[in-house]
Amino acid sequence: LNAVDDKRQKAQGIKDSIQTHYDSTMKGGHNVGEPALVHYLTDNAYPTVEWMEKQGVRFKDKIGAATGSLGQRSHYGVEGSGWAYTHIFENVLKKYGDRVEIFTDTPATQILVKDGKVIGVKGLRKGKQPVTVDAPSVVLATGGFGANVEYRQKVNTGVWKHVTLDKSIGTTNINKAAQGDGLILAEKAGADVIGLSDIQLHPAGTPGTGLMQDIITDGRNRLFINTNGDRFVSEGAPRDTLCNAIFAQPGKTYWLVMNKLRLPDESKTNSFGVSMTDMLKLGRVQKAANLEELAKLMNVPYEHLKASVDEYNKAIENKGKPDKYGFIATNTDDAKMVEGPWYACKKVPTVHHTMGGVHINTKAQVLGKDGKPVHGLYAAGEVTGGIHGANRLGGNAIADVFTFGRQAGASAAKNL
């Protein structure tokens, strides 16, 4: 979760500002995000962190830099991955006892509208039993459409139009969940949808599935190495630049290489809740005591791999100056990679996030094609559009989900 956090960042010597977060979100998104929404996100990301902590979420003190975050402001839960948040909010909901009824396994099938106002939702309980919920306020939080292969191909007219986003490209998303249902429901209820062609690919997909498995890092000090053993891109680049560079490599694949530096102990879990021991068990990570041995396992010339590591270490020495790929060591975590053991894992680009969606304003009200709010309809998270532009920064999704989620809840409670 990206947020400018004076306390934690200062303790680590990280210089940052809300304006820098705003600028990198706009620039990283090719300047097509809506300024008002981006300001709302970057202004309110830290108050959101504080609010989450009040609910019981625990963040690590160490601030990292998610892949393609274009800054060192990523917060990670003490407990791994989304679990750090979800179980806390489940507990908060339990406090409200019978005032909150939760229908699981109940897809919403229609947003009910009468005289231009939302009056409720229809759904199918356990996929069979029709259920209607009367409600003057409905919050749409149905996520993106990264797993809907047909739909993502239909709208792929933007930054990835030169790549066919068919089944040969996997996804990090959960197949059943990320189908984009919410967009269809919202459109039928009068919502405007924007930026659908803004689809994000992530460089850390598992070949064959696209899932994010094996080596997953929540920070820097990992190298992108092609099948010739060469570096080919700035490891600190935005995700679209990284993926475009991978597509230009032999076999459209690469090795993510890291060493002991990132991993003091193989049994220790990273921010995704996975340890190197777990990753090694999956059987796709190559581990070697030294670079020469690693080169053999990767089937790349040792001299190339060695030159790549030396080149990266030189960039660390030249802190603040770009190397030939534009990599600049600025992160307080950037350090030379010297000692083994070394680890390498093959990766490919994978569909990760869909930045387009339902048009909202800073009150998280859903807007119609006329730019006016659809009364009673609110939205937050990946189902919305206009925030991340054509390329989302790593770590900005969770900031978005919770910042606009809070606002959507407040607006819905007031039935704005």
Ligand X SMILES: Cc1cc2nc3c(=O)[nH]c(=O)nc-3n(C[C@H](O)[C@H](O)[C@H](O)COP(=O)(O)OP(=O)(O)OC[C@H]3O[C@@H](n4cnc5c(N)ncnc54)[C@H](O)[C@@H]3O)c2cc1C
Residue ranges binding ligand X (CB under 6 A) = 66, 107-108, 141-143, 172-173, 177-178, 181-182, 212, 353, 381-383, 395-398, 401
Q: How far apart are CA 321 and CA 147, in angstroms?
A: 39
- Give least dist CB 330 to ligand X, A: 20
Q: How far apart are CA 296 and CA 298, in angstroms?
A: 5
For ligand X, which is the closer residue by CB, 134 or 317? 134
Q: How far apart are CA 132 and CA 124, in angstroms?
A: 9
- Give least dist CB 222 to ligand X, A: 15
For ligand X, which is the closer residue by CB, 141 or 163? 141
Note whether 270 and 218 are within 8 A (CB).
yes
Structure tokens, 213: 């498995």
- Give least dist CB 241 to ligand X, A: 18
Helix 35-55 and helix 396-414, axial crossing angle in degrees, nearest 10: 90
- Give least dist CB 233 to ligand X, A: 20
From 73, 220, 239, 392, active-site residue: 239
Residue 273: Cβ within 10 Å count: 15
- Give least dist CB 411 to ligand X, A: 16
Note whether 192 and 219 are within 8 A (CB).
no
Q: How far apart are CA 145 and CA 308, in angstroms?
A: 37
Structure tokens, 222: 């990992």
For ligand X, which is the closer residue by CB, 132 or 290? 132
Residue nearest to ligand X (CB): 381
User: Collapsing DSSP states into helix, strand and coil, what is residue 412?
Assistant: helix
The region that residue 203 occupies, defined by phi over 0 for left and psi between -120 and 50 for alpha, beta otherwise, is: alpha
For ligand X, which is the closer residue by CB, 41 or 398? 398
- Give least dist CB 154 to ligand X, A: 18
Which helix (DSSP H) or strand (DSSP E) does residue 257 occupy? strand 254-259
For ligand X, which is the closer residue by CB, 66 or 364? 66
For ligand X, which is the closer residue by CB, 214 or 382? 382
Alpha-carbon torsion 25, 27, 32, 37, what sign?
A: positive
Alpha-carbon torsion 284, 208, 159, 360, what sign?
A: negative
For ligand X, which is the closer residue by CB, 295 or 397? 397
User: Collapsing DSSP states into helix, strand and coil, what is residue 373?
Assistant: strand
- Give least dist CB 224 to ligand X, A: 18
Residue 139's contacts (CB-CB under 8 Å, 6 or more residues apart) are: 364, 378, 379, 380, 408, 409, 412
DSSP characters over 279-328: HHHTT--EEESSHHHHHHHHTS-HHHHHHHHHHHHHHHHTTTS--TT---
To the query of whether residue 239 is one of the catalytic residues in this protein, the response is yes
Note whether 15 and 416 are within 8 A (CB).
no
For the chain, the helix, strand and coil percentages under 3-state DSSP, each to the nearest 5:
30, 20, 45
Please give the positions annotated as active site. 239
